[in-house]
Chain A
């Protein structure tokens, strides 16, 4: 890693937003259509700078809404461009119908999402309500937990998207990651990823070979088209593993689909996603020092759901406390990851207690002490079958 780093990387202090912009630049994107929204905005500012000063040759479409951002991305991708966009929260909601269209039309668009709470009440702060609302859109979804991983995941996203022809979103915590600086290795030389994400031929709007894209499908055809998407998402699983492993081989950094931390010999695994994993790991270290046998894990690939990795994690787990920064109201267990984990366990006859905790909504602070208390409660097994809204004032 050190030798690789010396030769091809430049180490910069970057926020995750800037890491996104550097990654889009280094992925040689052709078209960017985006609309400002907190906390995503600095992604587009930085990309504008890159284009303005000639570091990136691409067209910037300063759209008048996120709806048009995704629409223009679809148009550009259909016309053969490597399209990129970025958003957050209400912007992602405004795009929602187009998210289905982008995946339904099988366009390899990549989007970053600085995850943020949803109105009302209005909150500009971080949680994953926006991202979790897109679970049914057939977008491959990666949730990163460091700025370096954000950078690497955007590049990986193009490899996955252009192989399986589904769009990919790379999410990370609004503010906690989008606006905090970490050291990030970015490409020192242009074209570093040229072979990793080669330009491939695909069906596009080409006047020499006219095709019709976005046709109407009657009941005779709709179902099959959708089922193709199911197969593609299933293929995306293996391709996500491949993209990460090849990246690791070429560039010395890999993440897997589920990251484990001190899981062996634990009585409880704290499972989560996103930047909060850093706090969880620290809490685990502190608890381990006190002899409390806890481990942690995080889901990095949320769609397709990392079935094999989670099964292997569950085999090693005696109990799991799931921390969700989002909830699906009206369910007894309302944390999206908890619900999906339980559904998966049921399908595969895995029987491990799963406790669902809702934390960090609208950026309510979650400290190591909170994690320790959650762990103690979960270890005591005196836990409700329903989701626990941790720390809420009733």
Chain B
């Protein structure tokens, strides 16, 4: 499955747009970037099944839709199940000759972190176990942004949210972020990857591999949220870049059991650079920042050991 990446430079990105403007996502919402690039990879022979969430409510306010491919929303917690139904229907209709058996249709489930880590985990697990050919794309903005920034299983430790406020007793979220991609991998899912919109060719190559996978695939994309993370809307991509450069976020893939880090970081930056750009971490003491740095250091060590060489380099600044 390895070999030359399909999208190598920006000039490989298709010009066709299947995601229309006029949607109601916040100015600077990187979910728009992700959805737009996702459809550029998938093309018109695609059905998107979207969980309740920011993308869903912002792009399909009746009578307007931003989607130029067939699109379905059912509820919050069941995107993987609804997508399973869509995929099964296509198989059945092809077998019966009601649908042209040569038609190739991509089925994409698109959900946020709440709809994946928390309320949607059961349906996702079922879909993975049954082996539906569905690419599940998780846009992870690390909280329930659509309802107004409440903590989710994806919210990282210390992050402020409206339900993990900073006070005399609480200092933001007190628990770790759930390792969702590893949980998905543990199902034996043939293709699992993490990416972020700054590394758009990496992200698009992963979408492409996910769609080419016989069976389920899972692409976990970090989605910096201007409103919930509290940064100026212009910095969404910059923060996405810093996430990788600090190894707060590591772009990897598990391609049929073959694990690799796809975006290597020769010289790693201090997590301070990532954290200090975001209001949700503004209450952090230097000690807490260093605690986060320590945990990232451990994660990097583990990743390098797993890969067998230094793919994420030493801390330089």
Chain A residues at the B interface, C-beta cutoff of 8 Å: 30-31, 33, 57-59, 61-65, 67-69, 71-81, 83, 97-98, 101, 105, 199, 205-207, 210-218, 221, 225
Out of B56, B68, B78, which one reaches A67, CB within 8 Å? B78
B259 at interface by CB-CB < 8 Å: no
Q: Taking chain A's interface residues, is the majority helix, strand, or loop, or is none over half, making it mixed? A: mixed
Asked if A75 and B83 sit within 8 Å, CB to CB, the answer is yes
* Residue from B49, B75, B89 whose CB has the most chain A CB atoms within 10 Å: B89
**Min C-beta distance of A221 to chain B, whole Å:** 5
Chain A minimum-CB-distance residue to B56: A216
Could you give 20 example pairs across A and B, Cβ below 8 Å? A31-B89, A59-B95, A61-B84, A64-B123, A71-B78, A72-B81, A72-B84, A74-B85, A75-B84, A76-B88, A80-B93, A98-B75, A205-B47, A207-B46, A210-B67, A211-B70, A212-B65, A214-B71, A214-B73, A221-B63
Out of A61, A207, A215, A218, which one reaches B85, CB within 8 Å? A61
A216-B126 contact in complex given A68-B84, A75-B84, C-beta closer than 8 Å: no
**Min C-beta distance of B24 to chain A, whole Å:** 10
> Interface size for chain B: under 10, 10 to 19, 20 to 34, or 35 or more residues?
35 or more
A68-B74 contact in complex given A81-B89, A199-B98, A218-B62, C-beta closer than 8 Å: no
Docked complex Cα distance between A73 and B84 (Å)? 9
Chain A minimum-CB-distance residue to B58: A216
* Residue from B78, B81, B98 whose CB has the most chain A CB atoms within 10 Å: B81
Docked complex Cα distance between A346 and B46 (Å)? 53
A31-B92 contact in complex given A61-B84, A61-B85, A76-B85, C-beta closer than 8 Å: yes
Which residues of chain B come closer than 8 Å to A221, judged between CB atoms? 62-63
**Min C-beta distance of A80 to chain B, whole Å:** 6
Docked complex Cα distance between A75 and B77 (Å)? 14
Asked if A101 and B74 sit within 8 Å, CB to CB, the answer is yes
Q: Which 7 A-B pairs have the closest CB atoms?
A: A75-B85, A72-B85, A64-B126, A214-B73, A81-B89, A68-B81, A71-B78
Docked complex Cα distance between A76 and B70 (Å)? 13
Docked complex Cα distance between A304 and B260 (Å)? 59
- What's the A-B contact tally at a CB cutoff of 8 Å? 167
A78-B86 contact in complex given A64-B123, A101-B75, C-beta closer than 8 Å: yes
B72 at interface by CB-CB < 8 Å: yes
Which residues of chain A come closer than 8 Å to B80, judged between CB atoms? 68
B91 at interface by CB-CB < 8 Å: yes
Which residues of chain B come closer than 8 Å to A71, judged between CB atoms? 74-75, 78, 81-82, 85, 123
Docked complex Cα distance between A61 and B80 (Å)? 12
Chain B residues at the A interface, C-beta cutoff of 8 Å: 44-47, 49, 56-57, 60-63, 65, 67-75, 77-78, 80-86, 88-93, 95-96, 98-99, 103, 105, 122-123, 125-126, 129-130
Docked complex Cα distance between A65 and B130 (Å)? 13
Docked complex Cα distance between A216 and B61 (Å)? 5
Asked if B92 and A75 sit within 8 Å, CB to CB, the answer is no
* Residue from B46, B47, B56 whose CB has the most chain A CB atoms within 10 Å: B47
Out of B46, B62, B84, B89, which one reaches A215, CB within 8 Å? B62
A207-B72 contact in complex given A67-B81, A72-B82, A199-B98, C-beta closer than 8 Å: no
**Min C-beta distance of B213 to chain A, whole Å:** 19
Asked if A61 and B130 sit within 8 Å, CB to CB, the answer is yes
**Min C-beta distance of A149 to chain B, whole Å:** 28
Chain B minimum-CB-distance residue to A73: B85
Docked complex Cα distance between A221 and B61 (Å)? 10
Chain B minimum-CB-distance residue to A199: B98
A216-B60 contact in complex given A79-B47, A98-B78, C-beta closer than 8 Å: yes
Asked if A210 and B71 sit within 8 Å, CB to CB, the answer is yes
Docked complex Cα distance between A273 and B91 (Å)? 39
Asked if A67 and B62 sit within 8 Å, CB to CB, the answer is no
* Residue from A63, A68, A83, A221 whose CB has the most chain B CB atoms within 10 Å: A68
Asked if A30 and B62 sit within 8 Å, CB to CB, the answer is no
Which residues of chain A come closer than 8 Å to B93, judged between CB atoms? 30, 79-81
Which residues of chain A come closer than 8 Å to B103, judged between CB atoms? 207
Docked complex Cα distance between A177 and B250 (Å)? 58
Docked complex Cα distance between A225 and B62 (Å)? 11
**Min C-beta distance of B120 to chain A, whole Å:** 10
A63-B47 contact in complex given A213-B72, A213-B73, C-beta closer than 8 Å: no
Which residues of chain A come closer than 8 Å to B62, judged between CB atoms? 215-218, 221, 225
Which residues of chain B come closer than 8 Å to A217, judged between CB atoms? 62
Which residues of chain A come closer than 8 Å to B65, judged between CB atoms? 212, 215
Which residues of chain B come closer than 8 Å to A58, judged between CB atoms? 92
**Min C-beta distance of A217 to chain B, whole Å:** 5
Docked complex Cα distance between A300 and B98 (Å)? 34
Which residues of chain A come closer than 8 Å to B88, judged between CB atoms? 31, 33, 59, 61, 72, 75-76, 81
Asked if A79 and B60 sit within 8 Å, CB to CB, the answer is no
> Assuming A199-B98, A211-B70, A216-B61, what are 4 further A-B pairs, CB within 8 angstroms?
A72-B82, A72-B84, A77-B85, A212-B70
Chain A minimum-CB-distance residue to B130: A62
Asked if A210 and B89 sit within 8 Å, CB to CB, the answer is no
Docked complex Cα distance between A81 and B99 (Å)? 10
**Min C-beta distance of B228 to chain A, whole Å:** 20
Asked if B75 and A57 sit within 8 Å, CB to CB, the answer is no
Asked if A30 and B89 sit within 8 Å, CB to CB, the answer is yes
Asked if A75 and B49 sit within 8 Å, CB to CB, the answer is yes
Docked complex Cα distance between A33 and B228 (Å)? 38
Docked complex Cα distance between A243 and B228 (Å)? 54
Asked if A83 and B85 sit within 8 Å, CB to CB, the answer is yes
A205-B123 contact in complex given A98-B75, A216-B62, C-beta closer than 8 Å: no
Which residues of chain A come closer than 8 Å to B45, judged between CB atoms? 207
Docked complex Cα distance between A72 and B123 (Å)? 10
